[in-house]
Amino acid sequence: MPFQSVRFAERIFPFTTTMAIEVVCAFIFKDDHIWMGRRPDHKHMGGKWEFPGGKIDDGEDAETALKRELIEELGIEISIREVVAEVTHEYPNKIIHLRAFRVSSKEDPKLIEHTEGQWIPINTSDYLDWASADIDLWQTFHRARRAQ
């Protein structure tokens, strides 16, 4: 059953008028590495590294949104495995609920929306230029892996 887009802000942040933006991203696995892209300088968090993905549009479920986003951003079709981590992250001007899915693709990512791409080792802890929500997500992912 695909995950449905749900607004979490009122439950998690009951005293704010800011709504949580539902966001999905992909952990694209290749051997013991995961792909990340660098955001364009003119966008929010420009120049930071992120896991590819984006907002869930109204009427979309999370899996449909992720497939659409990866075609738009990387020009690839994906197979979705499972949710591997999720966090709610508060930026100064917005709150996002970010859900990461383990995905695979027979194609290599193309740089359509990102200025650079790299395969990072699955055990990396070097987050120097990562978007802050992606740092939280990565740390959550690793805590869950250690607990297994």
Cα 134 to Cα 16, 75, 83, 106, distances in angstroms: 23, 22, 15, 24
User: Exposed, middle or buried: residue 27 (CB in 10 Å: 0-12, 13-18, 19+)?
Assistant: buried
Q: Find the helix or strand (DSSP H, E) in which 62 lies.
A: helix 62-74
- Structural domains of the chain sorted by starting position, each given as residue range(s) with its CATH number in brackets: 18-147 (3.90.79.10)
- pLDDT bin (cut points 50, 70, 90) of residue 45 is confident
pLDDT at 79: 97
pTM, two decimal places: 0.85
What's the whole-number average pLDDT of the chain?
Answer: 88
Q: What is the pLDDT of residues 79-121, one digit of tens each?
A: 999 999 999 999 888 899 999 999 999 999 999 999 999 999 9
- For 131, the 3-state DSSP assignment is coil
Cα 126 to Cα 6, 32, 121, 122, distances in angstroms: 32, 16, 10, 11
